[in-house]
Chain A
Amino acid sequence: MNMAKASIPLLAAALALIGCGEQKPPAGAEVRIGHVGPLTGGIAHLGKDNENGARLAVEEANAAKIKIDGKEVKFTLVAEDDQADPKTGTTVAQKLVDAKVAGVVGHLNSGTSIPASPIYAQAGIPVISGSATNPKLTEQGFKSQFRVVGRDDQQGPAIASYLATTKKPKLVAVIDDATAYGEGIANEVEKTLKAANVKVLPREKGTDKTTDWKAVLTKLRGRSPDAVFYGGMDATGGPLLKQGRELGIKAVFSFGDGACTDKMRELAGDAAEGLLCSQAGIPPQAADKKFLEAYKKKFNMDPILYAPFTYDAANLLISAMQKANSSDPKKYLPELQKIDFTGATGKIAFDEKGDRKDAEMTIFIMKGGKLDPIAIVKGGKTMTYEEFIKGTK
């Protein structure tokens, strides 16, 4: 631990507290697992939540006195803070590689995971993200990169097929904000709708700064679509929804995860009621009951968002090491690639890119000012949220 080198003493102290300290190679039967997420800044609470998930897995593994290669091993979690900043993300990744961790859980953001992934890949260290949904992460061709959460481009088909099967619209208007994310998800939605024989109006576009959607919406009103899909963020989606209702558009509004936040209630007011939207993965309260109880007991709070996924990610690393009977990344990586595991978020297996096979997507509805999960879409099949909960417990 070199305190003098740290530019921000507070940060150094925080890191010392969570035990990232020693830099010497692991001695004997100690196996280090890294975890990276933002522990400072605007989404520090989500970073801590992710870390808690991984920590719980590690401590349970220690309590189970797991043996690898005939020796009882002690797992340690090396938790690092990437401040949700791509630059810091790469620095921290290098730090973990230097600390000779056997595997990494993280990072939280796509923006930090993508630049960090070549560093881990070069060192051959398996890394599993529990929350990075940008398709690019696993499209870089790194064999050691995995994720247990769904991809953004699986989300469009999910919300579109839900819309097509439950609301049965004849005509749908698709709008996007001309960003890579918004256009991408809108294209996926349009493709899926057209495949389901739903007519789609010519694409309308705004920008990621548009607040005045009235012109676009007025034009759409003239065509009376049964449903409207918008690919964009909540800051622009809120005004869109509000203005749509003001103009008297009765259509069902549906958004992707960028606008599937609790903030929609504030941004759109009463107009938010009845909004359909999708998120990658399953809501934490739908995770395995045993996990939820253990988490609550240990941290005295409920998991916030992605903790079940990081818990599974850490368990996947440990389970692959057990199967390979080695904590050497080179030896247990093949086991990880062909793993078949049931965790807190359900069955997990990876495809050749490192993405989770049949990842779940959740459809939410805004009801009484809160986002309620109503359906889970998995492998193109839709089941209600209640059915899903019953099935997992």
Chain B
Amino acid sequence: MDTFLQQLVNGLTAGSVYAVVALGYTMVYGIIQLINFAHGEVVMIGAMVAFTVINALAPAGLPPLAVVLVGTACAIPVCMLVGYSMERLAYRPLRGAPRLAPLITAIGVSIILQHLAMLVWSRNVLAFPQIIRTTTYTLGGASITNVQIAIIAVCVALMGALALLVYRTQLGTAMRATAQNPHVAGLMGVDVNRVIAATFVIGAALGAVAGVLFGTYYGVAQYTMGSILGLKAFSAAVLGGIGNIPGAMLGGVLLGVVEALGAGYIGDLSDLCVYGWIADFLGEHCAGGEHFILFGSNYQDVFAFLVLILVLVFRPSGLLGERVGDRA
């Protein structure tokens, strides 16, 4: 039971980071039906900028939390600028083009950003400065650190803020209108270009925060970190129903939890020696408490995508996908 609870805590932490990144994918898809594959790289740049700033400030003797906040405050505008530039330079010129063109462009942008980061921050794994002291609390048998609590809190706050923005402000209304029909929204006086740019910029800002959270949590940053994180967040967005904001949140958390539980239990479940008749069949392989494990915990990533496939087979539009009107 302790183990189960702990896996749940692990999954929730990872899942809330996925959810924040997934929002960036889903918002852009909701508004211009483009899968912005470069979004993972925006997250990576957020982590890298924060890494540089925190490293520079760490010896100054400021309170650790303030240093991390300054690092985040620097990462956000940089990522916003990156988000705006890629929309303006790469995607806007292709607005009317067939859908495949911007998709390929997105992959191109992703490769460019990755390699730029490699030139600036080297190809080494960077040790994210660990200035925040981790305190571990025990909660019904599961340990949870202050960093994990902060990550979950920040992610929930960000999701709340985004929901407010989309459903309660004029910009949000304009975004939802553009998502429903850009042409008609334009006729109603919505500056469609501005709204689309704003969507990219907001998604990038969320990505920057996610990058800092990721770096602080795992203690490492590398120029390639965006690709697998981006892929998982994209899967989370699809799982929840791409284009749907609550869906991305749900999908992210769900993916994190499934992944943690999967990696935690798949080894035991696929241990053939546990099952009577197979164990007899395997004979000596199982003799004397030996194990014959089909899938180890390195199938963690596979497990996440397997769930994605299963959901898509039975609900092709994702978990919350049918509420098309709500996408933004």
CB distance from A265 to the nearest CB of B (A): 8
29 contacts between A and B (CB under 8 A): A202-B267, A202-B271, A203-B293, A204-B267, A205-B298, A206-B298, A209-B228, A210-B300, A212-B14, A214-B7, A214-B13, A214-B14, A215-B10, A215-B11, A215-B260, A218-B3, A218-B6, A218-B260, A219-B3, A219-B263, A219-B264, A219-B268, A221-B6, A222-B2, A235-B220, A239-B219, A248-B138, A266-B127, A267-B220
A216 contacts which of B14, B225, B263 (Cβ < 8 Å)? Answer: B263
A203 contacts which of B127, B265, B296 (Cβ < 8 Å)? Answer: B296
Interface string of A206-228 (1 = CB under 8 A from B): 11011110111011011000000
In the assembled complex, which residues on chain A have CB atoms less than 8 Å from the CB atom of B262?
Answer: 215
Any chain A CB within 8 A of the CB of B143? yes
Any chain A CB within 8 A of the CB of B134? yes
A263 contacts which of B2, B127, B224, B264 (Cβ < 8 Å)? Answer: B127
A238:B260 contact, CB within 8 angstroms:
no
In the assembled complex, which residues on chain B have CB atoms less than 8 Å from the CB atom of A203?
Answer: 293, 296
Q: What is the size, in residues, of chain A's interface with B at 8 Å between Cβ atoms?
A: 32
Instruction: List the 9 closest pairs (A to B, CB-CB), nearest first.
Output: A266-B127, A215-B263, A205-B298, A235-B125, A214-B10, A269-B130, A205-B296, A222-B3, A202-B291
> How many angstroms from the CA of A247 to the CA of B225 in the assembled complex?
23
In the assembled complex, which residues on chain B have CB atoms less than 8 Å from the CB atom of A242?
Answer: 130, 219
B297:A204 contact, CB within 8 angstroms:
yes
Query: Closest residue of chain B to A268, judged by CB?
Result: B219
Any chain B CB within 8 A of the CB of A246? yes
**B residues neighboring A (CB under 8 Å):** 2-3, 6-7, 10-11, 13-14, 125, 127, 130, 134, 136, 138, 143, 145, 218-220, 222, 224-225, 228, 259-265, 267-268, 271, 291, 293, 296-298, 300-301
A residues 251-281 in Cβ contact with B at 8 Å:
263, 266-269
Any chain B CB within 8 A of the CB of A16? no
In the assembled complex, which residues on chain A have CB atoms less than 8 Å from the CB atom of B267?
Answer: 202, 204, 219
In the assembled complex, which residues on chain A have CB atoms less than 8 Å from the CB atom of B222?
Answer: 235
A205:B297 contact, CB within 8 angstroms:
yes
> How many angstroms from the CA of A235 to the CA of B223 in the assembled complex?
13
A218:B296 contact, CB within 8 angstroms:
no
> How many angstroms from the CA of A221 to the CA of B222 in the assembled complex?
28
Query: Closest residue of chain A to B296, judged by CB?
Result: A205
A246 contacts which of B145, B261, B291, B293 (Cβ < 8 Å)? Answer: B145
In the assembled complex, which residues on chain A have CB atoms less than 8 Å from the CB atom of B300?
Answer: 206, 210, 212, 215
**CB within 8 Å for A247 and B143 given contacts A218-B264, A219-B267, A266-B127:** yes
A residues 176-198 in Cβ contact with B at 8 Å:
178
In the assembled complex, which residues on chain A have CB atoms less than 8 Å from the CB atom of B138?
Answer: 248
Looking at chain B's contact residues, the main secondary structure is helix
B3:A221 contact, CB within 8 angstroms:
yes
In the assembled complex, which residues on chain B have CB atoms less than 8 Å from the CB atom of A267?
Answer: 125, 127, 219-220
In the assembled complex, which residues on chain A have CB atoms less than 8 Å from the CB atom of B7?
Answer: 214-215, 218-219
> How many angstroms from the CA of A387 to the CA of B2 in the assembled complex?
45
CB distance from A192 to the nearest CB of B (A): 18
Interface centre among B145, B219, B225, B260 (most CB of A within 10 A): B219
A239 contacts which of B11, B220, B298 (Cβ < 8 Å)? Answer: B220
Interface centre among A207, A209, A221, A234 (most CB of B within 10 A): A209
CB distance from B140 to the nearest CB of A (A): 14
A residues 339-358 in Cβ contact with B at 8 Å:
none
B127:A248 contact, CB within 8 angstroms:
no
B218:A239 contact, CB within 8 angstroms:
yes
Query: Closest residue of chain A to B138, judged by CB?
Result: A248
Query: Closest residue of chain A to B131, judged by CB?
Result: A269
Query: Closest residue of chain A to B221, judged by CB?
Result: A211
B298:A238 contact, CB within 8 angstroms:
no
In the assembled complex, which residues on chain A have CB atoms less than 8 Å from the CB atom of B14?
Answer: 212, 214
**CB within 8 Å for A215 and B218 given contacts A202-B293, A222-B2:** no
> How many angstroms from the CA of A210 to the CA of B291 in the assembled complex?
24
A207 contacts which of B13, B259, B261, B298 (Cβ < 8 Å)? Answer: B298
Interface centre among B2, B145, B228, B267 (most CB of A within 10 A): B267
> How many angstroms from the CA of A63 to the CA of B6 in the assembled complex?
68
Interface centre among A207, A218, A221, A222 (most CB of B within 10 A): A218
> How many angstroms from the CA of A242 to the CA of B13 in the assembled complex?
16
Query: Closest residue of chain A to B229, judged by CB?
Result: A211
CB distance from B233 to the nearest CB of A (A): 14
> How many angstroms from the CA of A209 to the CA of B261 in the assembled complex?
20
Query: Closest residue of chain A to B6, judged by CB?
Result: A218
CB distance from A123 to the nearest CB of B (A): 35
B6:A247 contact, CB within 8 angstroms:
yes
Interface centre among A178, A242, A269 (most CB of B within 10 A): A269
CB distance from A132 to the nearest CB of B (A): 22
CB distance from A251 to the nearest CB of B (A): 15
